[in-house]
Amino acid sequence: MTSLATSSLVPKPSLRRRAERGLSCLVTGLEWLGAIILAVLFAVVMAAVLRRYVFGGGFVWSDELAIWLNVALVAVGAPLAATSALAMRLDVIVRLLPAGVQRLASIFADAVAVHGSLVLAFGGASVVALVGGSSTVLGLPESLRFAAFALGGGLTVVVVLWRAALDSSWPAALASLLLGIGFYLAAQSVTGFFVETPSLVAASLAGLGLILGAPLPYALLAGVSLSGAFGGLLPEPAIVQNTVSGVSKFLLLAIPFFLLAGELLTAGGLAERLVRFAASLVGHWRAGLAQTTLMSSVLFSGASGSSVANAAFGAKVMAPALIARGYPPAHAAGIVAGVSMLDNIIPPSIAFLILATATNLSVGSLLVGGFVAGGVLALALAIGIHLSVREVVDAAPKASGQERAKSFVSALPAIGLGVVVVVGIRFGVVTVTEASALAVAYALVACLALRSLNIGTVFGALRKSATEAAAVGMLIGASAPFAFLLAVDRVSDQMAGLVTALGGGPYAVMLLANLVLLVAGLFLDIGAAILLLAPLLLPVAISAGLDPIQFGVILVVNLMIHGLTPPLGILVYVVSGITRVPASAVFRAVLPLLATLLVALAILCLGAAAWPSLPPSFKELF
């Protein structure tokens, strides 16, 4: 009797295995659904491109259908954006706490995620009940977009609690659910405490959730929701409407396509051809393999646009080669992390796409600015590698002209992708979204022609790209209501007043902006920082006479450097996770490269600040 009672209190291993399989099936199903949506999205956009440029006319319905499919992709991926490696959880601070406090912080973090998910679920349901009418072209009910997010929010609650139960315990998951419901109900009440700037309350609460380890998109949603109890002007349905509007932009379709193009290049082996070509160019230099890693990153940047993708590729391919050549593991990982930041600077750049979405700056002009900044940063990294590699004798025999030519021809399919995309966008031949779809078609055809891809690897690339794109889209959507609060509270005007007090000149604005970005970048993902800060800082920069394109490029460069700084340092964590080198060791190893990047940033800032005072005849040369 006693033994039976005791055994009934112990979780059965078979029950846990069934729970793990059930969650795995749900997550896999969502990944496959996202992959199918991305494949259909690509087919729609490519059909429209072929119709427009081959047959001289377009489909009336294609743009609207593509936007709706992108909304569905983000909604389907919302649960994955809360629990996967792309959840953007800042858990560095939590790891320093005692084990018991860590468990409490985990419960609170999941409660914040539950709260944000409930906002999407119930807010989306409210909008569905309120919104009528049909879309302009498709004739579908407008409520469908919001219903998708309501469903995504509900599934996120299930996935978050399911994962919490497996990682911790079912009582911990129940505590997170009850606490999340409590936060949600508190947000619906009126406290009587009204603050002049509700966005400050939202930022403080979101920041608290982020410090506890909550996923960033859901911390933003929870913060905006709770600000309503202190006078915030965004009720729950309006939060969801802003979120859906944030991802309902045709330009954002380029993000999943560029991610997919980069995945296809890597899976198809074209990225390794770039490495061989890079080695033929710089492999004979001092620290030749490290310089090859840098050159490979520069070349790969022209085809990917994602620093995370480049960091993952470098950690799998270049880091083991560096270690085998005698580089200490931490140093090898630091080099890979440092050079991978170039992908979001050298076009095509997903960061510039997000910036253009937030500020309406010209994508083509930003890409040109990215080339200039990318060249300066690549030179800085080359100097940093040359000066920091002391203990390794690493120089390959100089490649002959014939060897270089052969490796160049081998790498042409990958190099051609970047040329087609950037030239097409810069000269207005195609739109950014059309160029990104052509990039996918190019990569697919090139890899299939070289017989380096099969159906399995193509679907694997679709699954991974869809998951990553949904996480980025979720962040963009969650940032939209937060940005609305900042605009209502006229935070930009307050910043302008501060700059005026400092003198109001271009140097003062540049100094203040970089200080703000350097601090914000320590705690915010680059996408969130761009979406929240660019609309605030850009008007101030323009009023000071700074060129908006130059300022936008510097903003992205500043924030990309934070991919290498603690506590967030996403590029360091990606490389650390793949190479199994402790993140703390990689952060130390990357310091020399970080120093040279900061010097390059200072040079770019001085040039941009001096630009307004240069003679017009000099400017015309550029």
Q: What is the model's pLDDT at position 6?
A: 43
Q: Is the pLDDT of residue 117 over 50?
A: yes
Residue 414 CB partners (closer than 8 Å, separation 6+): 265, 270, 271, 273, 274, 299, 300, 303, 446
- List, in sequence order, every beta strand (DSSP E) within 60-128: none
Q: What is the model's pLDDT at position 8?
A: 44
Q: Is the pLDDT of residue 534 over 70?
A: yes
Q: Is the pLDDT of residue 377 over 50?
A: yes
Residue 454 CB partners (closer than 8 Å, separation 6+): none
Q: How big is the CA angle at 473 (ends 81 and 365), to the nearest 5 degrees?
A: 140
Alpha-carbon span 622 to 617, nearest angstrom: 10
Q: What is the model's pLDDT at position 500?
A: 65
DSSP 573: H
Over residues 139-162, the mean pLDDT reads 92
pTM: 0.82
Closest CA to 217 of 410, 472, 396: 472
Q: What is the model's pLDDT at position 38?
A: 95
pLDDT band at 7, cuts 50/70/90? very low
Please name the amino acid found at residue 218: Y
Alpha-carbon span 146 to 72, nearest angstrom: 10
Tens digits of per-residue pLDDT, 175-233?
999 999 999 998 887 666 777 778 888 888 888 888 888 888 899 899 999 988 887 77
Q: What is the model's pLDDT at position 2?
A: 44
Regarding predicted confidence, which is higher, 56 or 34? Answer: 34
Token representation of residue 24: 């795995």
Q: Alpha carbon 187 to chain centroid distance?
A: 29
Rounded percentage of the chain residues whose pLDDT exceeds 70:
89
Closest CA to 521 of 344, 310, 288: 344
Alpha-carbon span 367 to 349, nearest angstrom: 8
Q: Is the pLDDT of residue 394 over 70?
A: no
Q: Is the pLDDT of residue 263 over 80?
A: yes
Over residues 405-431, the mean pLDDT reads 76
Over residues 467-473, the mean pLDDT reads 86
Over residues 475-498, the mean pLDDT reads 79
Lowest mean pLDDT among 102-116, 118-132, 417-431: 417-431
Do 314 and 342 contact (CB within 8 A), yes or no? Answer: no
Over residues 111-122, the mean pLDDT reads 95
Burial group, residue 99, by CB count within 10 angstroms (0-12, 13-18, 19+): exposed
Token representation of residue 77: 């991926």
Q: How big is the CA angle at 479 (ends 475 and 482), to the nearest 5 degrees?
A: 155
**Three-state DSSP class for 116?**
helix
Question: Other C-beta atoms within 10 Å of 235: how many?
Answer: 15
Q: Is the pLDDT of residue 546 over 60?
A: yes
Q: Is the dihedral of CA 183, 184, 189, 192 positive or negative?
A: positive
Do 291 and 282 contact (CB within 8 A), yes or no? Answer: yes
pLDDT band at 123, cuts 50/70/90? very high
Average pLDDT, the chain: 83
**Three-state DSSP class for 109?**
helix
Q: Is the pLDDT of residue 9 over 70?
A: no
Over residues 377-388, the mean pLDDT reads 89
Q: Is the pLDDT of residue 490 over 80?
A: no
Q: What is the model's pLDDT at position 599?
A: 93
Token representation of residue 268: 């198809």
Q: Which phi-psi region, left, alpha or beta, contains residue 72 (left: φ > 0; alpha: ψ -120 to 50)? A: alpha
DSSP codes joined into one string, 360-397: ---HHHHHHHHHHHHHHHHHHHHHHHHHH--S----PP
Lowest mean pLDDT among 123-127, 135-139, 544-548: 135-139
Q: What is the model's pLDDT at position 413?
A: 78
Q: What is the model's pLDDT at position 446?
A: 83
**Three-state DSSP class for 306?**
coil
Q: Is the pLDDT of residue 494 over 80?
A: no
Tens digits of per-residue pLDDT, 573-583?
778 877 888 87
Q: How big is the CA angle at 306 (ends 303 and 310), to the nearest 5 degrees?
A: 80
Regarding predicted confidence, which is higher, 116 or 515? Answer: 116
Alpha-carbon span 138 to 120, nearest angstrom: 24
DSSP codes joined into one string, 427-461: TTSS-HHHHHHHHHHHHHHHHHHTT---HHHHHHH
Q: Which phi-psi region, left, alpha or beta, contains residue 342 (left: φ > 0; alpha: ψ -120 to 50)? A: alpha
DSSP codes joined into one string, 591-615: HHHHHHHHHHHHHHHHHHHHGGGS-
Over residues 463-474, the mean pLDDT reads 88
Q: Is the pLDDT of residue 396 over 80?
A: no
Tens digits of per-residue pLDDT, 299-349?
777 666 677 777 877 777 778 878 877 888 888 889 888 888 888 888 878
pLDDT band at 124, cuts 50/70/90? very high
Q: Is the pLDDT of residue 390 over 80?
A: no
Lowest mean pLDDT among 48-52, 415-419, 457-461, 612-616: 612-616
Lowest mean pLDDT among 19-33, 50-64, 608-622: 608-622
Q: What is the model's pLDDT at position 496?
A: 67
Q: Which phi-psi region, left, alpha or beta, contains residue 213 (left: φ > 0; alpha: ψ -120 to 50)? A: left
pLDDT band at 572, cuts 50/70/90? confident
Q: Cis peptide leading into 567, omega within 30 of 0?
A: yes
Please name the amino acid found at residue 28: T
Report the interhelical angle of 288-301 vs 401-426 (nearest 10°).
30
Q: How big is the CA angle at 395 (ends 392 and 399), to the nearest 5 degrees?
A: 165
Q: What is the model's pLDDT at position 347?
A: 80
